[in-house]
Amino acid sequence: MGWLTLVLWLDREAAGGTIWLQRGLGVSTWMVLALALRRVTATVRVQTGVVVAFATLVEYVFSPTLEVYLYRFENVPMYVPPGHGLVYLSAYALGHTRLVERHLRAAVVAVVAVGGVWAAYGVLVAERPDALGAFWYACLVGFLVWGPSKPVYVGAFVVVSYLEVVGTELRTWVWQSEDPILGVSIGNPPSGAAGGYGWFDLAGLLLAPYLLGLLSRRRRRDRLPERPQPEGADVH
């Protein structure tokens, strides 16, 4: 998270950095992600890979194509795909700290309460209405109740909310005031952004066991010895 904060600060609008700075930050962020993945299990590595792939696809659809939100150069900065991997690892790490694991129910209640107040403010009080944030908050509550990993979603609420506030405050990216597809209002940032991001987490958590199973079966098949040919059999 410290690295991502530094990246957003260096790429902020006020700094006036070039596209080449963005690309350099992208290469560096891939390196940081590679180092971080060395410290986790194979399952978490695969989960992270799925999150990066899914999130990158969504980024290209929703930013330069649909323009739901825009980065400074109206592109997807090179540090964003690996950044999603670091976001997932940060959420996973925070959610699996001893403090959160010991008080998981209280942590879930706190996330629901804080997120609910933020979403209600965006819909009822804020000068810029935020209906999309309220919808995503409902998604977050659903993930916390029925999702495959409450600790990950608790961590994601803290991590994603923090990065959205920092990124929009620095004007590294800006959300449009209205969704071009649904026509609903959007805050800058949306209050329930962690709920929108939660779909990336869901993909990683659900697909990783399946992908690991496929990889394991393939490895076992590759290790099987070849059956010897019967004596006198025609090998041509």
Residues 6+ apart with CB under 8 A from 157: 111, 114, 115, 140, 194
Report how far residue 124's alpha carbon sits from residue 230's, in angstroms, rounded to the nearest whole number.
Answer: 80
> Does the pLDDT value for residue 160 go beyond 90?
yes
Token pair recorded at residue 80: 């964003």
> Does the pLDDT value for residue 225 go beyond 80?
no
Report how far residue 92's alpha carbon sits from residue 188's, in angstroms, rounded to the nearest whole number.
Answer: 25
User: 150, 92 in Cβ contact below 8 A?
Assistant: no
Q: Which amino acid belongs to residue 126?
A: A
Q: How confident is the model at residue 215 (pLDDT cuts 50, 70, 90)?
A: confident
pLDDT score, position 182: 85
Q: How confident is the model at residue 119 (pLDDT cuts 50, 70, 90)?
A: very high
Q: How confident is the model at residue 229 (pLDDT cuts 50, 70, 90)?
A: low
pLDDT score, position 223: 72
Residues 6+ apart with CB under 8 A from 161: 193, 194
pLDDT score, position 14: 86
pLDDT score, position 228: 59
Report how far apart, in Å, the C-alpha atoms of 92 and of each of 40, 96, 149 are: 10, 6, 9
pLDDT score, position 234: 53
> Does the pLDDT value for residue 136 go beyond 80?
yes
> Does the pLDDT value for residue 222 go beyond 80?
no
pLDDT score, position 230: 59
Q: How confident is the model at residue 227 (pLDDT cuts 50, 70, 90)?
A: low
Note the pLDDT tens digit of each residue in 161-175.
Answer: 999 999 999 999 999
Report how far residue 49's alpha carbon sits from residue 81's, in angstroms, rounded to the nearest whole number.
Answer: 10
Average pLDDT over residues 218-229: 68
Least confident range from 86-90, 92-96, 156-160, 181-185: namely: 181-185
Give 224 or 189, the one with higher predicted confidence.
189
User: 147, 206 in Cβ contact below 8 A?
Assistant: no
Note the pLDDT tens digit of each residue in 71-100.
Answer: 999 999 999 999 999 999 999 999 999 999
Which ranges of 38-149 does DSSP label H, i.e. alpha helix?
A: 42-60, 80-95, 98-102, 104-124, 131-146
Note the pLDDT tens digit of each residue in 195-204.
Answer: 999 999 999 9
Average pLDDT over residues 215-219: 80
User: 48, 85 in Cβ contact below 8 A?
Assistant: yes
> Whose CA is closest to 175, among 191, 189, 159?
189
